[in-house]
Chain A
Amino acid sequence: MKVVVCIKQVPDTKGGVKFKPDGTLDRGAMLAIMNPDDKAGLEAALRLKDQYGAEVSVLTMGLPKADAVLREAIAMGADNAYLVTDRVLGGADTWATSSTIAGALRNLQYDLIITGRQAIDGDTAQVGPQISEHLGIPVISYAEEINVDEKAGTVEVKRQFEDRYHIVKAKMPCLITALSELNEPRYMTPGGIFDAFEKEVTVWGRPDLKDVDDSNLGLKGSPTQIAKASDKVKKGQGEKVAPDSPDEAVDYIVGKLKEKHVI
């Protein structure tokens, strides 16, 4: 069985978002990490490797420095790694990104493609389902559990909704988007870290993408265009008080609630 996991390098927000003095985001000051939902997807794939001997490949699209998340994936146990990078792919929206990744995936064999539900920088959750449509395979989003029946060539997934879950069965090949609730990703192993430096990462550019028209790539291939973008300036600071006693705190709160006509 062959599994391809699509991963993305994103800025880390866990240690708090860093702001510049003017109140805008300081991206340079934040670490780059593997997107958490994608990491859960990778862990799910590695469990299929443990269980069925699945061959696990990881693929990312990004700047050359995204190589780092591929090496981390190898250190966790991935077998092959592909980096899709090319200047003409820049500025892509989710349509153009999914067209690009689909073009890369057409070079590979897969029974399952796993992506994270959404990346913590864009938060769109669109690229996974869009890839599946470009490839003409079923998609199951929001996976909390994945069970493969290799013989039957099917996969059963616990698919989360707001107030329920469905157990959904699909024929493979199939694309699954993973929630970080899916599992607790493993750490890199010492042997894996050694591999990560030894192993070759395959680098693909525009000419390596299969069956994709230029009109579907990069900024030019993006139906959506940005009219205005701004790092949101932090909301103006409200008031902060440190009362000497609980009663004083209550006076303050009740005063405000009255002022605002809440009570």
Chain B
Amino acid sequence: MSLEEYKGVFIFAQQVDNELSSIALELLGKAKSLAEDLDEKKVTAVLLGSGVGSLVDKLAEYGADRVIVVDDPELKDYRTEPYTHALASVINEYKPEILLVGATAIGRDLGPRVSSRVHTGLTADCTQLDIGDFPLEPKEGVEQKHKQLLMTRPAFGGNTIATIACPDFRPQMATVRPGVMQKIDPIKGAKAEVVEYNPGFTKNDCYTEIVKIVKETSAVADIQAAKILVSGGRGVGSPENFKLLDELAEVLNGTVSCSRAVVDSGWKPKDLQVGQTGKTVRPALYFAIGISGAIQHVAGMEESDIIIAINKDENAPIFDVADYGIVGDLNKVVPALTKRLKEELAAKG
């Protein structure tokens, strides 16, 4: 492998039902800023699907200089093998230096399979990406490589953090946690160079068959997009009592989310779950109400700008991550808070 042949930052532009996933645009935003520190400034989006040509312009508006489109009926709905074949073929043909994939239910299946096929490293679930030297400091007897992708990721439920490099293999691959990287403000009317590519698809035993697709989304809120989250845990006591949180969220124009315990008890749907097995969120304001703060929960919300915890147990671990902790009865504090905020906001007009 001649590493110099590999150039440019590529992103996997995930689409589902021919709609771009938010992560695709987030990756473009990050790819743009990474490319500024590299010799090759061009950012390429790889778009796989069937009849997806109309998505190209949106990718351009969000920062793609070039879009490589593999359009084939075999790619209509996500299946591991044809998608792996398509993405691995694009890598072999166009040789990216860096390839970013969303750490979604698709990307966390596709990424590892592709990295194994092209024999390169893959760093999972990154929350920070930088260009820098590896090793970080010059070391005797070790060649220090420059302009490497430094991939930072939490592990152990967010209790350890590691920065990882892939100095001797290309592309440098990372899956990136949704909701963490920033999209750019779209550039209206931007156009990208479009490259159509089809490696050909031959069915083999690795091709699976999709027997049925069942969509489960109700009209549930997207908690990753919310600026203010009012999150409840087991301490809320009952599904009915969540109305206290609904009312607070309404006043603040926020969204209600919850902990795993609440989902396990069947009080709220899984889409609203914050945490390691739920969603990672980083709102401007996060209320943790009646949430004890198990590390799996904290891993999903600790990056929030401001965390306010209300809990009657003064030893609850949530107070270790909260910026402002209130030891008290949520049944009294929350309604009083809602009432006061209503007055404050009304006074402000």
Chain A residues close to B by CB (< 8 Å): 11, 13, 16-17, 25, 93-95, 98, 120-130, 132-134, 136-142, 156, 160-171, 180, 222-232, 234-235, 237-243, 246-247, 249-250, 252-254, 256-257, 260, 262-263
Task: Report which of B113, B154, B327 forms a contact with A133, defined as CB distance below 8 A.
Answer: B113
B197 within 8 A of A: no
Residues A123 and B156 in contact, CB atoms below 8 Å apart: yes
B55 within 8 A of A: no
Residues B116 and A133 in contact, CB atoms below 8 Å apart: yes
A-chain residues with CB within 8 Å of residue B167 when the two chains form the complex = 225
B210 within 8 A of A: yes
Residue of B whose beta carbon sits closest to that of A126: B112
Residues A232 and B121 in contact, CB atoms below 8 Å apart: no
Residues B119 and A223 in contact, CB atoms below 8 Å apart: yes
B321 within 8 A of A: yes
Residues A235 and B208 in contact, CB atoms below 8 Å apart: no
B-chain residues with CB within 8 Å of residue A254 when the two chains form the complex = 337, 340-341, 344
Q: How far is the CA of A64 from the CA of B150 in the complex (A)?
A: 33
Which of B68-76, B231-239, B300-308 interfaces with chain A?
B300-308
Residues A17 and B212 in contact, CB atoms below 8 Å apart: no
| 8 tightest A-B CB contacts, nearest first | A223-B121, A224-B121, A133-B116, A124-B124, A240-B325, A126-B112, A129-B112, A238-B323
- As a 0/1 sequence over residues 144 to 169 of chain B, the CB contacts with chain A under 8 angstroms (1 = contact) are 00000010001111111111111111
Residue of B whose beta carbon sits closest to that of A10: B156
Residues A123 and B124 in contact, CB atoms below 8 Å apart: yes
With A163-B216, A224-B166 known as contacts, the answer to whether A168 contacts B122 (CB < 8 A) is no
Residues B122 and A126 in contact, CB atoms below 8 Å apart: yes
Task: Report which of B108, B163, B212, B271 forms a contact with A166, defined as CB distance below 8 A.
Answer: B212
Q: How far is the CA of A148 from the CA of B307 in the complex (A)?
A: 47
Q: Which of B111, B112, B271, B320 has the most CB of A within 10 A?
A: B112
Task: Report which of B156, B302, B340, B341 forms a contact with A25, defined as CB distance below 8 A.
Answer: B156
- Complex interface residues of chain B between 213 and 257 (CB less than 8 A to chain A): 213-217, 228, 252
With A129-B116, A235-B321, A240-B322 known as contacts, the answer to whether A227 contacts B156 (CB < 8 A) is no
Q: How far is the CA of A58 from the CA of B345 in the complex (A)?
A: 60
Residues A228 and B136 in contact, CB atoms below 8 Å apart: yes
Residues B123 and A263 in contact, CB atoms below 8 Å apart: no
